[in-house]
Amino acid sequence: MSNIQDNLKMKGRLQVSLNGEVVRDIDNLVVTAGKNYVADRMKNNSSVMSHMAIGSGTTAAAAGNTALGTELGRVALTSSTVSNAVVTYVASFAAGTGTGAVTEAGILTAASNGTMLCRTVFSVVNKGSADSMTITWTVTVS
């Protein structure tokens, strides 16, 4: 499995919009558990990436991450598409969901716990209780 971890190239990009305005556009880290998940999907089709979480943790993303530092909210993905080895995930955090100083995000396989595919940490986006947030996340496999 370590050969897959070393040679499977995956990169991601995250775009955060607050009330319809793009406020962050940053790269992300595909963690080891995410790479293992992709390799396993070549054989098994039991679970899919289904949720996105946001949080207030500030510790740098690392390959060994399996959860956010401090999760503020998690929602089901509103869409996921695949085209030319690029997977696009979109999630919308409605008013009142994930309120606070948002500094991290992740893609996961479940409404709680689950396997993490990606994690990123970014400069604070303050999400008030009346604000809505949409995150569009692309993962390129090469």
Structure tokens at 53: 């979480």
* Between residues 44 and 61, the one the model is more confident about: 61
Q: What is the mean pLDDT of residues 26-40?
A: 84
Q: Is 20 helix (H, G, I), strand (E, B) or coil?
A: coil
DSSP assignment of 64-114, as one string? Answer: T--S-SSEEEEEE-SEEEEETTEEEEEEEE-TTSS-EEEEEEEEESSSSS-
Is the pLDDT at 37 greater than 70? The verdict is yes
Beta strands 116-127 and 100-108 are: antiparallel
Q: Is 23 helix (H, G, I), strand (E, B) or coil?
A: strand
Please name which of 57, 134, 133 lies closest in space to residue 99, comparing C-alpha atoms.
133
Which pLDDT score is estimated for 130?
97
- Distance (Å, whole) CA 127 – CA 133: 8
Side-chain-side CA neighbours of 118 within 13 Å: the count stands at: 27
Q: What is the pLDDT of residues 108-121, one digit of tens each?
A: 999 999 999 999 99
Which pLDDT score is estimated for 2?
47
Q: What is the mean pLDDT of residues 34-48?
A: 77
